[in-house]
Structure 1
Amino acid sequence: MSNQVVTLNAALRQNCLKNPGKVFIRYRHTAMTYEELGWLVLGFSEFLKELQVKKNDRICLVLPRVPELCITMLAASDIGALCVPVNYTTEKPAVTAFIKHVHPKVTVVYEKLLPLVDLKPFAGTIVVVETDSKIKHGHIPWKSACYKKKGTVEAKSNPNDLAYLNYTTGSTSDPKGALATHANLYYNTMSAIEAFNITADDTHLCMFASFAHPHEIFCRALYTGGTLSLLEEINPKTIANTIKDDSVTMMMGIAPLYDMLFSHCSGYNMSALRIAESGGMFTRAEITEGFKNSFGIPVLSVWGSTETSGIALANRPDDYRMDGSMGKPCPYYDIKVIDDNGKEVHDGDTGEMLIRGSAVVSGYIDDNAEFSSDADGFYRSGDLVRKDSDGFYYFIERKSGLLKVAGLKVYPLQIEIVIKQHPSVDEAAVIGIEDRSRGMVPAAFVIVKDGCDLTASDLSQYMRAKLANYMVPRKVEFVSELPKIGSGKIDKKRLKKLFEDGMI
C-alpha cells in the first residue's frame, strides 16, 4: 500500500476521472455512476456554502442507509464541515437532546423519520429527504438543495483534517464524539481491503446501522473503485434477493441477521457472495456453521470500535475460526493484552485489549470525555479478551460488565452463551444486580421462542449442568423484548435502569 494518504474527496475525484461511467451506488432498482454522484456532491457542497457553512461546522444526519447519507458526508468533507450521524432509534427526548448538544448548522433528515425527532431552532437549517414529493413540511426539500452541478470534484481536504464526528453507541456509558480524520478512515479502509482482498470487482452490501460507522457503508467501494448496494430494509428475503440481483460479493452485518438468512432463505441463490462479515456483537458458533451449511461460506467474525474507526480484528477467508473468535489483528493495528498491573499476559490468560495504529483516533471532541491510553500510545478498549497460541483473539466481556460474586469473577457473556444454547431460548441478557451476602449476583433476562414453554426452574437446572453454581443467575426474568441500541446490541445500561426502576 502506498504511504500517501488519500482523502475521501481525493478518492471520489480519482474515480470521477478514471471511471466516470461505472456504477457506484445501486438503490431501489436505480444506478448512480461515480460521475453522477460527483455532480450531486458538488451541488450540495455549493448549497452548504450558500448557507455560510464553514470548516468544522456540524451537520446532523438523521438518515438511514440511503444515497443522501453518502452525498452529504462527501459534500461536507469537501468544505471541511463535520457530519454527525444521529442515532434516531433512541427515545425522542434523547434524540432532541443529542441534536441540541451538537448544535448543527444544518440537519438533514429522512422524511419518514420526522416523527421521531423534535427539530427545534437549534437544529439549524432543515433539509428533508423526501419519500413523497407531494408532502410539504415547510423545510427545504432535498431536491432543491442537492442539484447536479457539472464540473470536477476537488480535493481540498488534508489527511489530518477531521472527516466527521463519530459518536460511540453509549451502550455502557454516555456517547462520546470520536475525532475521525481522513487518515483514520483511510487506514481503516486499507486494512479491510488487505484483510479481505477487496478489489474494484466487488459489490458491497453493508447492513450496519447508518449511525454506527457510516463511512464503512461506502468507503471500501470508494477507495477501490467498486460498487455498493444500499438497502434500508432489514428483511432476510429482501436481503437475499438483493444479494442475488446485484451480485453482491461482500456483506457486513450483525449476527442475528445471518441467523435469519440461513433460517429463512436457505434455498436462495447467493452464490456471488464471497465474504459474510459479522461485527458489533458476539457471533455464536451455530450461526457460523448454519450459514456455511446453507451457503457454502462461513460467517467471518470481526471486532471494531468507534475509536479504532471500524474493524481492527478479523477472521480471514483463508484463516478463520468458527467458534466465535474475533480473528487476528488487521494490517496497521498493533494489539496487546494486559493485566490489572499493566503487564502483558500470557497466551490463554484474560486481560484488557489495548490497540495502537494509524486508524485509531486521537481522542474525543467532548472536553469531559477522557480518551484512555497508556504511555506507549495504546488505546484502552475496555474489552476483556484472551489470545490463543495461534494468534486468534476471543472476546470475554466488557471490563465494566465483569461481575465479582463473593470475590469470584463472573463473565456475563459466558452465561449468555449457555442460556442461548437452550432450545427454547430466543434471546438472553445477563447483568449484575446487588446482593447483600455476595455483593453482586448475575440476573438473566430471557426471551422464549414462540410456542415454547420454559420455567425459571427448568432453565436454572439446565444452567447448573453447564456452569459453576456461583455463576448460575440468582434471578431469571422472562421478557417480551430487550432494549437495544440501533446497531442491534442489547443496551445493558438501559436494561439495568429498567430493572432498578421496577419496569422489567
Structure 2
Amino acid sequence: MNAYDSRPWLAHYPGRLSEHLEPEFTSPLTMFAAAVAAGPDEPAIHYFGATLSRADLDAASDALARLLRERGLRPGDRVGIAVQNEPAIVLGMLAAWKAGCIAALISPIYRRTEFRRALDDFTPRALLLLEEVHAEVADEVEATPSVELVVTCSPLDFAGNEDPQRVFGVRRARPAGTVDLLEVIGSGSREVVRHDPAPDDVAVLAPTAGTTGPPKGAMLTHRNLAFNAQGYRDWTGLQPGEPILCMSPVFHVTGLVGSVLLAFSARSPVILTHRFDAGLVLDAVRTWRPAFSVAAITAYIALADHPDATPAALESLRLRYSGGAPVLPDVADRLEAQLGGMIHNVYGQTESSSPTHMVPPGVRAPVDPETGALSVGLPVSDTMAEVVDESGNPVPPRVFGEIVTSGPQIAAGYWGREDDPDSALRDGRMRTGDVGFMDSDGWFYVIDRSNDLINASGYKIWPFEIEQVLHSHPDVVEAAVIGIPDDYRGESTRAYVALRPGAHVTPTALIEYCRERMAAYKYPREIELVNALPRTATGKLLRRKLR
C-alpha cells in the first residue's frame, strides 16, 4: 500500500462532502430536461440585457435538432460548433445531443489552417458557425466533403438593449449558401425532438489546449460531463438559482462544464458576454449579481486592473475559482486584496472534463514552504490521483513526479487516435504531463510541465522557480521562462517579461534582481520585454510559441 491508496486528502473534505458522489443524472440532456420540468419559465441565459427562459432554450434547440434530423444526420454524426459565448453555442450543443449527434467544439478564433485541421479530424456533417468565422473559413468549409449543412449565427442574436455591437463592433453579414439560425428557430414547427443517449456515448469532442502540439479531440462522454457538472455544484455548495458568471470560453471544457453544464445541474442562469471584456463583465456583475465563476487567472488580473473593480462591486461573487495554469501565491494575495475575496484553485485537463482537484470554498490552500507553490487542491470525490516516476511507479510524498489521475470524469480517448500507444489516456488513467508532488496531508502541487524542464550543465531547472522570482518584482505583471540552446551549458534560460503600465525597469536590472535571489546556474541569462505572453483562450501559457 502506498501513500495515495490511503487517500489522505479525505481528512480535509468539508462535512457536506463525501468520498463518493452519487450521480443524479447520466447525461447533460437529462440534467437540462429536469431543469426545464422544474421551472420552464425560470431564466436559463442572461445575455446583453436579455433573458432566455429554459422553455425558450428548449424550444430553440428543438428547432435546430429537427433541422439536423431532416437533413439526414443520425446518432454518432458530428456537428461542428464554432461560436463564442453566446446563447447559440448552448442551444447548438443541446440540439446536437437531441438529434443523437456529437458536438465537435471548434475554436472560433482558429485561423484557416487550424480550422481545416479540425474539419479533417472531426469530419462533421453539419456546422454551426458565427458569421465572422464563416467569412474567414468559407473556402475550407466548401472543400470539406463531409459538410452537408452550414447554419450561421451572429452575436447580435438573442441580445437585448445592451447591444454587443457597441462593445465589439459586430455587424451582421449573412453568408450566401447558409441557413440562418434565427430563421430555423422561427420556422413555426413545435415538434419535440428527444434522443436518449447512453451514459458512455460520446457527447463532445473537446479540443485539447495544444500547448505541446496540435490540439486533439478528447472524447468526453455524457457520463463524464454529468459527473463533473454535479461535482462542481456539490463541491462549491452553489445554491439553486444562484447566477453563474461565464468568464471562460464555452468552446473549451472549463466554460462548458464549469459554467453551462453547472447551470443545468444547479438549475441556475448562466451569464454570457460573447467574449471577455473586463468592463462588460463588471456591468454584468452589477446587473445579474452572480455568485460563482471559474476563469483563468489572467481574467481576474484584467478585472483587478479595471478602475471600477472594487470589493464592493464584486461582493455578490462569493465563489471565485481559477484554472488553466498554476497561480502564484503573490498573485493570489494581490488579487484577494484588490477584489475582496479569495480565489480558489481548480485543477484538471480537457481530458478530465475539467476538475480532478479543487480547493473547498472558504479554505485557504496551503503554500509549500520549500517550493513556494500554492496548492492546486484536493482530489475530488471518486477521483484517484498519484505522483509517479518515469517508470510509472508511485513516489513518496514531497517527491517530484508526474501527476496521474483516474475517475468517472476521464475521457474515453482521443478521436481518431484510439489505438495510439503513446496516448496520455490509457486504461481509464490520465497522464497529465504536469510535474508536481503531494504533501503528507494530501494536498497536491503543480510545479511545471514535464517537457519544460531545462538542463543547464547537468543542473535541472524548473521554469516555475525563475518565474516566481520575476513575479515578485513590483514592476512585473507576468513572466515565462524557456530553455534555449547554449554551446557551453547545453541549455540556458531566457525569460519573457510583461511589465506594468508605466514601468521602466530594464532587462539588465531584472537579470540582476534574479541573480541576487537564485543559485548561479538558475538565473536567466537573457530577458526580453513583451507586451503580453502567448496564451490559449483558457489562459494556458504557450511556451512552444515562445520557443
1: CA distance, partners of 2:54 / 2:405: 35
2: CA distance, partners of 1:416 / 1:189: 33
Give the counterpart of 2:278 among 220, 223, 236.
236
* Larger displacement relative to structure 2 (118-127 or 31-40): 118-127
2: CA distance, partners of 1:114 / 1:193: 36
Q: 1:239 to 1:39 in 2, by over 3 A?
A: same
Shift of 1:151: 5.7
2: CA distance, partners of 1:107 / 1:234: 24
**Match of residue 201 from structure 2:** 161
2: CA distance, partners of 1:402 / 1:175: 22
2: CA distance, partners of 1:343 / 1:96: 40
Give the counterpart of 1:64 among 84, 95, 100.
84
Conservation of the 8 A alpha-carbon contact between 1:332 and 1:359: no
**Match of residue 145 from structure 1:** 184
1: CA distance, partners of 2:35 / 2:192: 11
Shift of 1:435: 1.7
1:128 aligns with 2:152: yes
* Larger displacement relative to structure 2 (90-99 or 25-34): 90-99
1:420-460: CA deviation from partner (whole Å, max 9, x where unpaired): 22222233211111222222222112223332222222111
2: CA distance, partners of 1:174 / 1:248: 35
Conservation of the 8 A alpha-carbon contact between 2:83 and 2:107: no
Shift of 1:480: 3.5
**Match of residue 272 from structure 1:** 316
2: CA distance, partners of 1:268 / 1:282: 27
1: CA distance, partners of 2:120 / 2:201: 24
Q: 1:322 to 1:453 in 2, by over 3 A?
A: farther
1:102-139: CA deviation from partner (whole Å, max 9, x where unpaired): 22211111123344434432154221103569643212
**Match of residue 285 from structure 1:** 329
Taking the TM superposition and a 5 Å limit, the aligned residue runs for 1:364-443 are: 364-367=414-417, 369=420, 370-372=422-424, 377-443=428-494
**Match of residue 20 from structure 1:** 40
1: CA distance, partners of 2:274 / 2:52: 17
Which letter does structure 2 place at the counterpart of 1:266?
T
Shift of 1:3: 4.5
* Larger displacement relative to structure 2 (132-141 or 485-494): 132-141
Q: 1:297 to 1:483 in 2, by over 3 A?
A: closer
Residue ranges of structure 2 left out of the alignment (5+ in a row): 1-20, 158-171, 368-373
Equivalent residue pairs, number: 495
TM-score by length of 1: 0.92
2: CA distance, partners of 1:336 / 1:193: 25
1: CA distance, partners of 2:230 / 2:69: 31
Give the counterpart of 1:335 among 385, 389, 395.
385
What is the DSSP-based 3-state SS (H/G/I as helix, E as strand, rest coil) of the residue aligned with 1:89?
Answer: coil
**Match of residue 363 from structure 1:** 413
1:117 aligns with 2:141: no
Which letter does structure 2 place at the counterpart of 1:469?
A
Conservation of the 8 A alpha-carbon contact between 1:191 and 1:332: no
1: CA distance, partners of 2:156 / 2:256: 27
TM-score by length of 2: 0.85
Conservation of the 8 A alpha-carbon contact between 1:254 and 1:278: yes
1: CA distance, partners of 2:384 / 2:413: 18
**Match of residue 102 from structure 1:** 122
Percent identity, aligned pairs only, is 24
1:453-493: CA deviation from partner (whole Å, max 9, x where unpaired): 22222111100122211111222222334333222323211
1:343-393: CA deviation from partner (whole Å, max 9, x where unpaired): 322222211101010111121112275433577x43211111122233221
2: CA distance, partners of 1:7 / 1:246: 28
What is the DSSP-based 3-state SS (H/G/I as helix, E as strand, rest coil) of the residue aligned with 1:53?
Answer: coil
1: CA distance, partners of 2:189 / 2:389: 56
2: CA distance, partners of 1:312 / 1:140: 40
**Match of residue 256 from structure 1:** 298
2: CA distance, partners of 1:69 / 1:331: 29
What is the DSSP-based 3-state SS (H/G/I as helix, E as strand, rest coil) of the residue aligned with 2:305?
Answer: helix
**Match of residue 347 from structure 2:** 303
* Larger displacement relative to structure 2 (196-205 or 320-329): 320-329
1:345 aligns with 2:395: yes
Residue ranges of structure 1 left out of the alignment (5+ in a row): 497-504
